[in-house]
Structure 1
Amino acid sequence: MCGIVGLVQSRSIDISHVVGMAELISHRGPDDEGYVVFPERGPVCLSGDDTAAFDGMNSLPYQPTVHQRDWLGNAQASFVALGHRRLSIVDLSPFGHQPMSYMDRYWIVYNGEVYNYIELREELQQSGYIFRSGTDTEVLLAGYDKWGVELFDRCNGMWSMVLYDRKAKKLLLARDRFGIKPLYYLVGAGGDSLAFASEIKAFAALSTWHREIAAQPAFDFLAWGLQDHGEETLFKGVFQIPPGHYAVVQLDASGRLDETLETKLKSIRWYDLSSRISGVSLEFKDAAQHLRELLFDAVRLRMRADVPLGSCLSGGLDSSSIVCLVRALLCSIGSVQPQRTFSSCSEFSSIDERDFISEVTRGTNIQETHVFPTGEELFDRIDELVWTQDEPFGSGSIFAQWCIFRAVHEQDVVVMLDGQGADEHLAGYHGFIGARLSGLLRKGNLSEFGAEFRSVRALHGYGPQKFLQYFLANLMPSSIRPLGALGGMTQMRRDWIDVQALGALDRDPMVALGARAKSVRDLSLAQLGGANLQMLLHWEDRNSMAHSIESRVPFLDYRLVEYVLSLPDAFKLERGLTKRVLREAMHGLVPEKILTRHDKKGFLTAEEYWMKGKQARQVSERIDEAINLSRGIIKPAMREVFSNVLAGRAPFSYHVWRVICFGAWLKKFQIRL
């Protein structure tokens, strides 16, 4: 797991810009540092202060020969420069140094892991390819030589990469199927330069970057809590390569960018999840058994590492399944090493899940670590957290996750397995209930609709208004705001945003994303594609990498996702019971108390308690600060929103937190309005 940066221009590159970008994301790769430039006489590999020692090794074609300080002001023009910060996970030796080359033609900077690299390497060796290292990076280079972009479809893993083909004079920017690893880019004002990086903050090293707000993404965040639901970011002019896409930048014979680039690159889809879905004609128990087998293999592959490994454990079904699967796999190889788990806990019993966590860990060879995030530290660190995340974020749960990864780092664990991604395709969110009900009604299946309706009321205790909220959101999206207004729902208010001052449209972005879905499967596609998962992956990537930790998500093994989406909706959600097929698949592995949980707490923190208690004054001050910094975008009406929540006249609203975080972001990144 690493951080990647680079520049391609129509004029010669100042290497200090690339080094500066890399330094701003050095937390992503503390183990090694490297750069490569391409003057006319051939590639020159540069080292930095953190470059690993190559003592006693035979010379490598990608081994640094010059320190980057000594290249400053060099008269040899280079129009392409790549930079890399390495977190060593597989083959910890300097053989894994990047930028890496292959056949004196291909150069790569790569962030991620391809878990089936061993199988791919064996296949390539049978075709005559030779490997120096034991890394997945070298397998990618050889695989690209053999298969071109069809390589991606053979890879099981997570990645963002930039590959430079010196012979074809083209630069390839690519991202994994589900966007687990990030890749941002920024086209210069005249279209004569392209910068790319793993994190947006890296562009702060470029004096030409003017940090301005992107209006529509800002509205979607403030009003709807949405981020990462498209190529745009909250920074005007900063885009990301979409999940499952790649882009190609063609250079001239001298390796120079000779075309004027558009602000947004043309990206090419290489992976389309909807086209991979086919009907699965299995009985429910057989389907659950196959899911169990797939999940076992997904976890097995993601345990491949040459560094210590642990797991996140919330007490929910997803993380508990991962922990129990790891335990079974360790037992199968006779491992006696304690299994490591890390959990966020709370002093408030209504959101604390230690009873469920202990169900998983009791009587096992598990070494537990519990962290207790506090409101005091959250507000002390909010500016730091915004810098870590690059953009404002939706709730204090991101802080809790940050605390977990800090504890992981303090205990020298480097790779973590997490349950992220399961809810989106296994119908884990209660919002799927509305999609299930509307799907049944659209099909005219009234008897099944009635049975589902009664079961949901009995199982979850939903009253009429809750039903209407979930149901009408899918069947008649335009009805949501009137319903919210009648019910006094704080989250439906818009009077605290000046949409005109922001320059955005007051719209429901969920409609365009397909999140007002007609079926459970359709909602899963929307959730995976941009309505939810991309935000979660963004937060997890930044929190883990801020502490130099690689986080792996077995539930997003593409074989597993494609299989689950091919199952009937009722296998995932029926009679109000979410994740039916996973519950069945985990019988005998996961404790029954976890399997029979019907509540959905998510990854909670105590924002409501903090905002109404010790941190009320700080919340009020932060709201005032956001109003002032936003120059009219956030109206003084937000003070009333918070006052109503504080006085109990309105339910708790995450809008309050978003405004606070938005203000912190404007200040920390010095956004121009």
Structure 2
Amino acid sequence: MCGIAGIFHLTESGQMDRDIIAKMNDRQQHRGPDAGDYFFDPGVALAHRRLSIIDLEGSPQPMLSADEKACIVFNGEIYNYKELREELSTKGYKFNTDGDTETILNAWLEWGEECVHKLRGMFAFAIWDRQNQCMFIARDRLGIKPFFYSLLPNGEFIFGSELKVLKQHPLFDKTLRNTTIEDYFTFGYIPEPNTVYQHSFKLAPGHCMLLKKGDKQLPTPREYWDIPTRFDKELSAEEVNEQLVERLKEAVDIRMVADVPLGAFLSGGVDSSAIVALMAQLQTDPVNTCAIGFDVKAFDETEYAQQVADQYKTNHRFETVDQEDFDLIDKLADLYDEPYADSSAMPTYRVCELARKHVTVALSGDGGDELFAGYRRYNLHMHEEKIRNMLPLNFRKAVFTPLGKYFPKLDWAPKFLRAKTTFQSMALDTVEGYYNSMSLLREDERRKLFSDEYNESLQGYTSLEVFRKYGDKVQHLDPLKITQYIDMKTYLVGDILTKVDRASMAHSLEVRVPLLDHKFVEWAFNTPSSSNLKNGVGKQAFKKSLEPHLSHDILYRKKMGFAVPLVDWFRGPLKQRLYDGLLSEQMANSGYFNMTRIKRLVDDHVNGMRDNSASLWALMMFESFMRQQLD
């Protein structure tokens, strides 16, 4: 795993500023502490930080092809590189190294832009083609590895593995993108392809872009892959049960190749336990596993992780995090570079810190809930869909709109009485209903939170457009598949994979994700919704297939999640920080907020009248980001 950076002048061919590219590269040293180097051509500067995983002594980057026609900087792993190397060798290509980087280079020289279809793995790379005077950039299909870019006013295209890399360029525009404040307080992150800054972007998963010398403006990124949503025949429950474990085992197997110590995260949940079980069957040595526990019982899963560790006799290590582990709060803004409100970033950071003490590569179970419908919200959504199918939209709007507006927000009540969000969603169609349920702050709450000036500046824009963009592409799918598809395009990449990448690379740890192997995804997304969500329980097909490998307690216990005790923190040790930060002059002067509303949110939570912890955490992370901006 590595960090990449570069500058490509679209129109000029002069010498590049070596100090600027050096500052950009130095800012991501945590991503690759083992080595760093540069490549310069007229109008081109490429930089790389290396975390050595395969071919430890070879494969330096930036790397020139054997014929010196092209140069690459690459972050990721290509798991089928040996097969590709053999194919390319028969076509006459020479190889000077034993790693996967040179394989991508020769694949580009042979197949051009179509080379991405040959690659199986996680990747973000840029190739400078000297002969054709063009630069080709690409990101892996599911968005496991990040790629940020911006076009500067002087015609320079700059890119990097993190936003902080781009910010080192003196011409980088730090003007905030107006609509992403709305997006952030809707989702808790800023969805692809936008960033928090007006003139910088994320290359979306499954996209590539070809930049040619002489271009006056950036071309539109091209989508080269998408989750398949049309199948000749749906998989039967029997086919899923027969094939799932072997297909997943193959995805795990190809991710166990490394020249450094390798292990796995083991939370005790279904997905991580499945990965560990299959790893144990694929190697003779005990699997290295690690887990983080909490000294608050309601948030601690270590006993379940220990069960799996005992079953497969792993080298298991765990540490307990103090419930008042606040040290990370100020680090998060620097870690994520833009507002990011998933509080599980804190335990994720700690488990990566623990893992790096013992291994350099760790396999994770991310992606299983999106792929096999494991989130509890899917069950609630499908219950709502039953009513949507029975009652016409106009009738639902007439009945449920006033209920959603006037029904009180009963955070203290039993779940069956907390119906405000459900009533609101019932007055909406499938996509908008799911959007309302998924929103960190619902639309009515955001309108109250934002100042009149900011609401007016949005000119009618709402974050629903993000969901509509993806929902419109898959209207032919059933409602459950639509929500899964939307989650894989938004929540999975914008929240889950972002969290894991930044937390792991902060410790120079490579994380591999077998459940997001694109061949496995192409097969698994054809699992019938009726097999995934059955009798109100998600991931049924997945769990059924794993019954020979994991205990009933592991497979069918209630899902816990990876959370921290925000409710208590904000009523106790972080109370004063809430008042000082959220009601600060900086927040008032930003122009985004109704400060009276923020004070009400803080007071109601601190006094125990409401649970506003999610909203307050989002505001705290935004305040930390704004403070970092000023610094």
- The alignment's TM-score, normalised by the length of structure 1, stands at 0.83
CA distance in 2: counterparts of 1:511 and 1:404, whole angstroms: 32
Name 2:78's counterpart in structure 1: 114
- State the AA in 2 paired with 1:240: K
1:178 and 2:142 are equivalent in the alignment: yes
Instruction: Note the C-alpha offset of 1:646.
Output: 2.0
Provide the identity percentage.
27
1:187 and 2:187 are equivalent in the alignment: no
- State the AA in 1 paired with 2:363: L
Work out whether residues 279 and 566 of structure 1, in 8 Å CA contact, stay in contact via their aligned partners in 2.
Answer: no
Name 1:260's counterpart in structure 2: 216
Work out whether residues 5 and 195 of structure 1, in 8 Å CA contact, stay in contact via their aligned partners in 2.
Answer: yes
Equivalent residue runs for 1:328-367 within 5 Å: 328-330=281-283, 335-336=284-285, 338-367=286-315
Name 1:654's counterpart in structure 2: 614
Work out whether residues 4 and 73 of structure 2, in 8 Å CA contact, stay in contact via their aligned partners in 1.
Answer: yes
Name 1:310's counterpart in structure 2: 263
Work out whether residues 309 and 414 of structure 1, in 8 Å CA contact, stay in contact via their aligned partners in 2.
Answer: yes
Instruction: Note the C-alpha offset of 1:205.
Output: 1.9
1:19 and 2:22 are equivalent in the alignment: yes
For residues 483 and 324 of structure 1, do their structure 2 counterparts lie closer, same or farther at Cα, with a shift above 3 Å needed? Answer: closer
Higher alpha-carbon deviation: 81-90 or 393-402 = 393-402
1:290 and 2:243 are equivalent in the alignment: yes
Of residues 373, 394, 399 in structure 2, which corresponds to 1:427? 373
Give the count of matched residue pairs.
597
- State the AA in 2 paired with 1:14: D
Name the SS of the counterpart of 1:242 in structure 2: coil
Name 1:556's counterpart in structure 2: 516
1:271 and 2:225 are equivalent in the alignment: yes
Name 2:201's counterpart in structure 1: 239
Work out whether residues 113 and 136 of structure 2, in 8 Å CA contact, stay in contact via their aligned partners in 1.
Answer: no
Instruction: Note the C-alpha offset of 1:315.
Output: 1.4
Instruction: Note the C-alpha offset of 1:233.
Output: 0.3
Name the SS of the counterpart of 1:370 in structure 2: strand
Name the SS of the counterpart of 1:345 in structure 2: strand
Higher alpha-carbon deviation: 651-660 or 497-506 = 497-506
CA distance in 1: counterparts of 2:585 and 2:519, whole angstroms: 44
Higher alpha-carbon deviation: 9-18 or 579-588 = 9-18
CA distance in 1: counterparts of 2:438 and 2:134, whole angstroms: 52
CA distance in 2: counterparts of 1:644 and 1:405, whole angstroms: 35
Q: What are the superposed Cα offsets for residues 541-560 of structure 1, whole Å, 9 maximum, x if unpaired?
A: 11111111111111101111
Work out whether residues 295 and 554 of structure 1, in 8 Å CA contact, stay in contact via their aligned partners in 2.
Answer: yes
CA distance in 2: counterparts of 1:23 and 1:183, whole angstroms: 17
Q: What are the superposed Cα offsets for residues 421-460 of structure 1, whole Å, 9 maximum, x if unpaired?
A: 1111110112212443455567779xxxxxxxxxxxxxxx
Of residues 124, 127, 145 in structure 1, which corresponds to 2:109? 145
CA distance in 2: counterparts of 1:225 and 1:364, whole angstroms: 37
Higher alpha-carbon deviation: 20-29 or 530-539 = 530-539
For residues 299 and 208 of structure 1, do their structure 2 counterparts lie closer, same or farther at Cα, with a shift above 3 Å needed? Answer: same
Instruction: Note the C-alpha offset of 1:217.
Output: 1.2
Instruction: Note the C-alpha offset of 1:635.
Output: 2.6
Work out whether residues 226 and 532 of structure 1, in 8 Å CA contact, stay in contact via their aligned partners in 2.
Answer: no
Instruction: Note the C-alpha offset of 1:84.
Output: 0.6
CA distance in 2: counterparts of 1:179 and 1:266, whole angstroms: 18
For residues 479 and 125 of structure 1, do their structure 2 counterparts lie closer, same or farther at Cα, with a shift above 3 Å needed? Answer: closer
Name 1:211's counterpart in structure 2: 174
Instruction: Note the C-alpha offset of 1:201.
Output: 0.3
Work out whether residues 294 and 323 of structure 2, in 8 Å CA contact, stay in contact via their aligned partners in 1.
Answer: no
Work out whether residues 346 and 373 of structure 1, in 8 Å CA contact, stay in contact via their aligned partners in 2.
Answer: yes
- The alignment's TM-score, normalised by the length of structure 2, stands at 0.88
- State the AA in 1 paired with 2:254: L
Higher alpha-carbon deviation: 351-360 or 81-90 = 351-360
Of residues 304, 311, 320 in structure 2, which corresponds to 1:372? 320
Name the SS of the counterpart of 2:7 in structure 1: strand
Instruction: Note the C-alpha offset of 1:382.
Output: 2.3
Work out whether residues 296 and 323 of structure 2, in 8 Å CA contact, stay in contact via their aligned partners in 1.
Answer: no
- State the AA in 2 paired with 1:367: N
Instruction: Note the C-alpha offset of 1:476.
Output: 5.8
For residues 480 and 316 of structure 1, do their structure 2 counterparts lie closer, same or farther at Cα, with a shift above 3 Å needed? Answer: closer
CA distance in 2: counterparts of 1:153 and 1:561, whole angstroms: 15
Name 1:570's counterpart in structure 2: 530
1:496 and 2:449 are equivalent in the alignment: yes
Higher alpha-carbon deviation: 278-287 or 641-650 = 278-287
CA distance in 1: counterparts of 2:371 and 2:438, whole angstroms: 28
For residues 473 and 146 of structure 1, do their structure 2 counterparts lie closer, same or farther at Cα, with a shift above 3 Å needed? Answer: farther
CA distance in 2: counterparts of 1:208 and 1:484, whole angstroms: 37
- State the AA in 2 paired with 1:23: D
1:546 and 2:506 are equivalent in the alignment: yes
- State the AA in 2 paired with 1:36: F
CA distance in 2: counterparts of 1:470 and 1:297, whole angstroms: 44
1:322 and 2:250 are equivalent in the alignment: no
Instruction: Note the C-alpha offset of 1:155.
Output: 1.5
Name 1:452's counterpart in structure 2: none
Say what the alpha-carbon RMSD is for the aligned residues: 2.9
Higher alpha-carbon deviation: 120-129 or 158-167 = 120-129
Name 1:453's counterpart in structure 2: none
Instruction: Note the C-alpha offset of 1:280.
Output: 4.2
Work out whether residues 434 and 470 of structure 1, in 8 Å CA contact, stay in contact via their aligned partners in 2.
Answer: no
Name 1:382's counterpart in structure 2: 329
Work out whether residues 601 and 612 of structure 2, in 8 Å CA contact, stay in contact via their aligned partners in 1.
Answer: no
Instruction: Note the C-alpha offset of 1:111.
Output: 0.4
For residues 620 and 663 of structure 1, do their structure 2 counterparts lie closer, same or farther at Cα, with a shift above 3 Å needed? Answer: same
Q: What are the superposed Cα offsets for residues 474-499 of structure 1, whole Å, 9 maximum, x if unpaired?
A: 746667999999xx999945312226
- State the AA in 1 paired with 2:496: L
Work out whether residues 435 and 474 of structure 1, in 8 Å CA contact, stay in contact via their aligned partners in 2.
Answer: no
Work out whether residues 431 and 470 of structure 1, in 8 Å CA contact, stay in contact via their aligned partners in 2.
Answer: no
Instruction: Note the C-alpha offset of 1:365.
Output: 2.5
Instruction: Note the C-alpha offset of 1:627.
Output: 5.3
Instruction: Note the C-alpha offset of 1:239.
Output: 0.6
CA distance in 2: counterparts of 1:390 and 1:405, whole angstroms: 19
Equivalent residue runs for 1:585-596 within 5 Å: 585-596=545-556
- State the AA in 1 paired with 2:610: A
CA distance in 1: counterparts of 2:102 and 2:434, whole angstroms: 51
Instruction: Note the C-alpha offset of 1:343.
Output: 1.5
Instruction: Note the C-alpha offset of 1:83.
Output: 0.6
Q: What are the superposed Cα offsets for residues 567-614 of structure 1, whole Å, 9 maximum, x if unpaired?
A: 2111111111100111011111122211112x2322211222222222
For residues 376 and 102 of structure 1, do their structure 2 counterparts lie closer, same or farther at Cα, with a shift above 3 Å needed? Answer: farther
CA distance in 1: counterparts of 2:247 and 2:276, whole angstroms: 16
CA distance in 2: counterparts of 1:484 and 1:148, whole angstroms: 40
Instruction: Note the C-alpha offset of 1:226.
Output: 3.7
Work out whether residues 352 and 504 of structure 2, in 8 Å CA contact, stay in contact via their aligned partners in 1.
Answer: yes
CA distance in 2: counterparts of 1:217 and 1:659, whole angstroms: 14
Name the SS of the counterpart of 1:130 in structure 2: coil
- State the AA in 2 paired with 1:669: Q
- State the AA in 2 paired with 1:246: C
CA distance in 2: counterparts of 1:618 and 1:244, whole angstroms: 41
Name 1:528's counterpart in structure 2: 488
Instruction: Note the C-alpha offset of 1:383.
Output: 2.7
Name the SS of the counterpart of 1:495 in structure 2: helix
Name the SS of the counterpart of 1:297 in structure 2: helix
Of residues 225, 249, 253 in structure 1, which corresponds to 2:188? 225
CA distance in 1: counterparts of 2:116 and 2:499, whole angstroms: 24
Gaps in structure 1 of 5+ consecutive residues: 39-77, 252-257, 446-460
Name the SS of the counterpart of 1:272 in structure 2: coil
CA distance in 1: counterparts of 2:135 and 2:373, whole angstroms: 39
1:391 and 2:351 are equivalent in the alignment: no
Instruction: Note the C-alpha offset of 1:290.
Output: 0.8
CA distance in 1: counterparts of 2:342 and 2:497, whole angstroms: 14
Instruction: Note the C-alpha offset of 1:469.
Output: 5.8
